[in-house]
Structure 1
Amino acid sequence: MDFELRVIEAITNNFADDQIVGSGGYGVVYRATHEGEEIAVKKLRQLPGLGDKQFDSEFRNLRNIRHQNVVRLIGYCYESRHKYMDHNGDLVFAQIMERVLCFEYMHGGSLDEHIQDKSCGLEWPTCYKIIKGTSEGLNHLHNSQGKHIYHLDLKPGNILLDESMTPKIGDLGLSRLVASTKTRQTEMRDGTLLYQRSLTCSVWAS
């Protein structure tokens, strides 16, 4: 679904601080309700090297992914607006690209909230469920879409949990888009290997 920016601003109360549920390098996440469904609204930061055609093409492909262990992309908003901004003490009239992504809301939070270096609050059956579900989600992305889809930034913070602790891989489109820019490609590839090892060791150690 292609959202208009005015709709996104309405359901987030103009991106109010009291609706923020998380933030990271990609952007800020807001909890909102649209047509009776709770959704996570992620307002992206300005990403250097990300063009219009690249953004649109990538998300038109990713929105077709449907799997019980991959967070469902509901829609996105991509609009430009002009506004006055401060630049080195001068007021300039600039064009700003607003990029917003909408996903299903995951009430269980992210895996990194449940595991730590020294302890884990999850019982073994739940750990096994998370390992199995994450593996099945990755297998689906790698082998079931007609072409290989790689996450490029898998880590505990990108494995989200629903009310029944079913794992779902998140931030798939974001990592692919950022990794496709020349400035981040090597960094994201390195990060993938590091976080995959961290996830495996942390969960199995529990």
Structure 2
Amino acid sequence: MRRYGNTVMVAVTATALCTGAWLLHSGTARHAPPQPSAAEAAGSAQDGGTAQDSGAPGSAPALPPSPPDRIRIPAIRVDAPLTGLGLTPSGSLDVPPAEKKNLAGWYEAGTTPGETGTAIVAGHVDNADGPAVFYALGALRKGSRIDVERRDGSTARFTVYAVEVHQARDFPDRRVYGAAPRPELRVITCGGGYSRATGYQGNVVVFARLTGSVR
């Protein structure tokens, strides 16, 4: 089942990740998660108007395939196990159980983090009890480190080059999920506007590239 196209996962932008159960119970003003500023987007004025996703210089050689077991993002104090995610009957990416708020998931039929291609990690922003694993994802900045511990004993080290928020109606599916000629990582949670009727209106997406590995 590996290598099934990542483009099938577009519906994750508006489905189970994004109900906003905590905000529904607690109110949006006080508990809304952080959202990235325009300066953290690829091609922002801060970068001189050019997208910082070319992969070289700074990209590390690809690693052999190996399932990931854990993700760490020191800047926002994420240290979470990873579970494999498949697809729902409608073709969207499944999500981790909402009650396990410190659990993230990876698309196990796609690229493993560290090998050539685009690996996908997703997790909830909150659940009915409060903030979940990726609540602070929108506070990440360019240059932040993401470590993914892999089953072969290696740790794939990624560097963030963009943090963006996109509304579901104009979500850049191909740019987020599309194939890449180098090792890339996307970390996704809910974000954008919030409606009590429908939940979050979009997603926060972190774009990162492999810049090293350790054992």
Per the shorter chain, which TM-score range? under 0.3
- Give TM-score, length-normalised by structure 2: 0.26
Larger fraction in helix:
1
Larger fraction in strand:
2
Report which structure shows greater RCO (CA 8 Å, sep ≥6).
Answer: 2
Larger Rg computed on CA atoms: 1
